[in-house]
Chain A
Amino acid sequence: MNVYPKRIIAVLFLLAAFAGCSQSPTSVGKKIIPAAGKYTSHDTSFASVGDTTFKFAQVNGSSSSFLVGNSSSIDAKALLLFLATFPDTMASVQIDTAKLTLSADYGWNVALPPAPGQFEIKEVLSAWSAATVTGDSLNGLAMVPTNSANFVITSQDTLSVGRTLTAQFDTSLVRKWINIYTDTLLPRFFSIALVTKPGMTNFGIWGFSQFGSSSPPNLEIIYEKNGVKDSVSLSIGQGTFFATTNPIQPSGGIQTQGGISIYSLVKFNLNPPAFDSIPSNKVVINNATLLMTLKNSQRAIGYGMPDSVVAYFAGSATNFDTIAATYYGYGYRKDTTQTTNIVYTFNLTSMVQQWINAPSGNFGAQLRAVGTNSAVDSHVFYSSKDTAYAPRLLITYTRK
């Protein structure tokens, strides 16, 4: 009898190899899994245990819109800085005209006063940077009047998207800038401010498209040399704004307002000994919805902005403005047909999961206006003390 051990080995091993691969999971054996090892679904809800409304000095930076105007005790001033380059040939030209064009993209509490609303153009002499300037540094900026015409708003229709405002610009200021540019010893700083004309109040806060957008501020200079007219446009630069109010208008609720940096903190205690507490860290939050009820009619939304508030993961017990920006949720109206006690819902699933995973990091949810540095929209919600309408957190979770 011929025996071939090598062949036997090969056949056996290959058979085992083909047979030795596992199948997909099956339900066989599920009854053996201890009940304590299975996740079950639960629902619970929490009322907020506290809230705080606060204000801090915010750097608006090069926000998407720069604001100017006056309404509801808020006054907004815009700063523009042109990064101008003038051809050498302009040193001796005759400046015929100059005009500044702005494109409106936001309006808040806009209403025509008895006379048309007007913005003045001032020259800014002090250096500033959008990356660092705050409302507190506004008083340190030197501004002087110019011979420019005012921007005049005669119709609310100006707010239609893409509509522009144009004002004649001071040609002597243009000449001054050209002279500075050609003198290499002088700092090339070409800045203006837009401010509300004194005496004009409550005609609204206006927002204009920023440098770098598709409709940036544009300073067009028309000049003549040797009998030939030509022009140059300045539309590169940086802009920011200051919106100030003092003090915070008392609302009696949880308040958010953009532009002037009014935020709120809403706090929840999810852990023992809280009623309905979630005691274990082995919990999966499936859904967490924050319900906030608007104090009747206490909101003001500008043109071009959504009716929304954003909630961030508060990052500190003492530095209220600190957030972990990874975890957030937008709050929208739950039912757009409601006219009183309007409820806003926020999806805070990931945020609440973090609160459960690390209870010591639960400093609450920080509420901010959407467009906090490019709009002055405001909301006021019922506070934790308003038993019937206090903020509530509805949580669906699974746990062992």
Chain B
Amino acid sequence: MKTVKFPVLLLLATAMSCRLFAGDGSIYSSFGVGEILTFAGNRSAAMGGTGIASLNGGSINLLNPAGLGQLSRTQYSGDFQYQGYSLNDGSGSAFLSSANFQSAALAFPVYNDYGIGFAFSITPFSRRAYNVTDNDITTGITQTYTGKGGLSSAQFAFSFSPVQDLYFGITTHYLFGNFDDVQKLEYDSTGYFTTDADKNVSTHGFAFTFGGLFAGIDRALGVSDEKHVNIGATLFSGATLSSDEQIFQNFSTSQETTNVSSGTTKIPLGLALGLEYDLGDKIIFTGDAQFQQWSQYTYMGVHPQEIQNSMRVGIGTEFLPSRTLSEPYYRQVIYRAGGYVDESYLKINGQSVNEYFVTGGIGVPVFSTPGSEARLNIGLEYGIRGSTTNGLERDSITRLTISLTGSDTWFIQPEVQ
């Protein structure tokens, strides 16, 4: 029990201490709904963000609800992430960082014969965090742009298996969050008062992810005698989020609410396809492709010209030397690696803002008993987004994700002899 409490307390304290700060990210997060975060757990992150076709009873598949169909025990996870941004726009550079609680999930099997399982989770959907100042000596105005907030997804997932090896699932997402963009104006001229405009957007709504997964497609096609290959697909329904916008302006003598409007934020449809190849129960290879039709994104009925369709391709691998408790400790450690290429939903100055990431991680056992086990997962991602050409910015991003995952027999009725 102490083993669990200790990191959880640390995680909460650290997360709270650093959420007080804003502007610890890239100016790219000022567009659209911010920086899209496809975080689906530490395992997925360390494997290039893949997992659409993953049917692993030892982890919670947050990418594809159909992947919950083989849960054997109650699973839980909590993730904490540190992000470091090294920013370079060709004329200057800066380093910013943040550390936040990332996600939490709980999943449990209900009826294994039909692959019925449930999962509750809360994960980030997007993040806005920037803090940029522009001192224009020709106009004598220093403008500081600050943004914070983002969308979170509280989700409930359900899986079932109507026939052997075929799994379906549905996830209901409740997307919610706030965006707070402040533009502060300071003037060189004496007698001019500092002013600022604060745009606050509150938004919420529902979306759905429909998933399907077929385990052992190789055997079904007669390619193999055993089941090694899974294929999975998801369809994200998109969402029409209710959005309320208010603009507060601080003038020399008063604060005024200069604009109040209500409308919608339209999050578009997304499709994903994944493959998983299981080699001898020790090594897993995964590959995913994800597409989202961001060209249909609108905010208050307007499509920003900087938003385009996104396409992401990732690969990953996982290696577990041994599942035997008597083996040396290092042989019980899970090793993961991967990478992905993402043509993001941003197209600025006519140029796509692409991301190239390599990922890796380990999962070390914390404790293991016949009825429960826990692992500390450490994932590391490093990548580059954008470039310094064409007036853009190149972000070198490092993400360190620390998670505690485990399983237990909670909520599971013991079998009667």
Binding site for B on A (CB under 8 A): 1, 3, 5-6, 8-10, 12-14, 16-17, 19-34, 37-41, 281-282, 284-287, 326-327, 349-350, 353-354, 357, 398
Contact = CB atoms under 8 A, between A and B. Distances in A.
A28 B10 contact: no
B28 interface: yes
Interface stretch (B32-40, B132-140, B154-162): B132-140
Interface in B356-378: 364, 366, 376, 378
Contacts of A39: 141, 143, 183, 185
A26 B94 contact: yes
Interface string B126-152: 000111111100011101111000000
Nearest to A349: B252
- Name B's interface SS: strand
A25 B131 contact: yes
A369 B74 CA distance: 81
A30 B91 CA distance: 10
Interface stretch (B170-178, B188-196, B223-231): B188-196
Contact of B258 (A33, A38, A282, A349): A282
B141 A41 contact: yes
B11 A13 contact: yes
Interface in B211-268: 247, 249, 251-254, 256, 258-259
B133 A281 contact: no
A27 to B, nearest CB: 6
11 contacts: A9-B7, A9-B376, A10-B10, A12-B402, A21-B97, A22-B22, A23-B24, A28-B393, A39-B141, A41-B141, A357-B256
B378 A12 contact: yes
Given A12-B378, A32-B28, A33-B27, 14 more contacts: A5-B366, A9-B6, A10-B6, A13-B7, A13-B80, A16-B402, A20-B97, A22-B21, A28-B393, A29-B87, A32-B391, A38-B134, A40-B141, A326-B253
A231 to B, nearest CB: 52
Given A19-B97, A22-B22, A30 B134 contact: yes
A357 B254 CA distance: 11
A6 B143 CA distance: 46
Given A27-B134, A33-B132, A357-B256, A19 B329 contact: no
A350 B404 CA distance: 56
B89 A28 contact: yes
Contacts of B27: 28-30, 32-33
Nearest to A357: B256
Given A6-B6, A26-B87, A287 B191 contact: yes
Contact of B93 (A28, A285, A326, A353): A28
Interface of B: 3, 6-7, 10-11, 13-14, 17-18, 21-24, 26-28, 30, 80, 82-84, 87-89, 91-100, 129-135, 139-141, 143-146, 183, 185, 187, 189, 191-193, 195, 197, 247, 249, 251-254, 256, 258-259, 306, 328-330, 348, 364, 366, 376, 378, 391-393, 400, 402, 404
Nearest to A29: B27
Given A17-B17, A39-B141, A28 B192 contact: no
A326 B254 CA distance: 10
Contact of A32 (B7, B89, B98, B189): B89
A30 B22 CA distance: 17
B45 to A, nearest CB: 15
B189 A17 contact: no
A320 B402 CA distance: 69
A8 to B, nearest CB: 7
A25 B10 contact: no
B207 to A, nearest CB: 28
B258 A281 contact: yes
Nearest to B84: A19
Contacts of A281: 258-259
B96 A20 contact: no
Given A25-B23, A29-B27, A41-B140, A16 B146 contact: no
A23 B256 contact: no
Given A21-B97, A32-B28, A357 B131 contact: no
Given A5-B376, A16-B400, A41-B139, A22 B94 contact: no
A27 B141 contact: no
Contact of B132 (A3, A28, A285): A28
Contacts of B141: 39-41, 398
B171 to A, nearest CB: 29
Contact of A282 (B83, B95, B133, B197): B197
B329 A3 contact: yes
Contacts of B393: 28-29, 31-32
In the A-B complex, list the 9 residue pairs whose CB atoms are closest, starting with the nearest: A20-B99, A29-B27, A22-B24, A16-B82, A26-B94, A350-B253, A17-B14, A30-B134, A25-B131
Contacts of A38: 134, 143
A32 B141 CA distance: 18
A10 B82 CA distance: 14
A361 B122 CA distance: 47
Given A13-B402, A22-B97, A284-B251, A28 B185 contact: no
A28 B92 contact: yes
A19 B14 CA distance: 11
A8 B95 contact: no
